[in-house]
A and B are shown apart, each in its own frame.
Chain A
Amino acid sequence: MRMVAKILRESLLVLVVASLLSTIGGIGFEALKEKFYLLPIILIALPALNDMIGDLGIILSSKFTTIIYLQKKQKMQKKQKKKVSERREIREIIMVVLFVAFVMAIYLFFLSTTLAILTKKHVDLQSAFKTLPLFIVSALFIVFFLSLILTTLGFFVYKKGYDPNNILVPLATALADAFNLLLVCLFVLMF
């Protein structure tokens, strides 16, 4: 039982905080539940969109952490080049992730529209295309916003002596859930 207690002590607080952070978006979802019923494309795409942004947040977190640790290692050997290459590598991975987010948002839109047509008969193509900007804007905006938060926080957490992986990964998925649902709710309100 000592192992069970240890696991609960170390993980429970982070898990509870991450889960509760996700409910922020859920509140908006609950408030607009009748409106969501009329938008089957968004309903079908919502879990996948949340997942995708969360996944990209995890990739950014783990890449940033690796860059920080690698730079620390390199810093001991070549001190001067540190700042330039660190910034360049971070910029590069953000660009890769933004590019994937853009392509995947379009892919998700077409796939969810097809599935909505197959599962629900009353899907109007003209109004379906009005939801395309939501997919692109939420994917690009949140991933960019996450990358800003995660880089800043990553360096801060690292300087405080913690492993950024342990804090950034649950935070990235929770923030992705919260921001994405809030943005989707805002869109549904305007639709």
Chain B
Amino acid sequence: METYQSLAKLPKLEKAWVKTLRPQASQNLLARQLEEIGFVPGEQVQVLSKALIGGDPMVVRVGQSTFALRQAEAQLIEVTQEP
């Protein structure tokens, strides 16, 4: 069974795969930017660390690179726990 959730809610160190980017109208540019830095469907992601207060910002490994993201950005990324 496949489960989807937003990257923002993915537990720390759990492996997941990018399913889609939620292209919300006002945030098209943001989605596009996320795509550019490697958040494309099928890519493996993993949350490496979260800030102490509110888990924002967070450190995410995507493919071979590591990025610091805000919660708002991570919420645009839908992930699935199976490749």
A and B physically associate: no
Residues of B within 8 A of A (CB): none
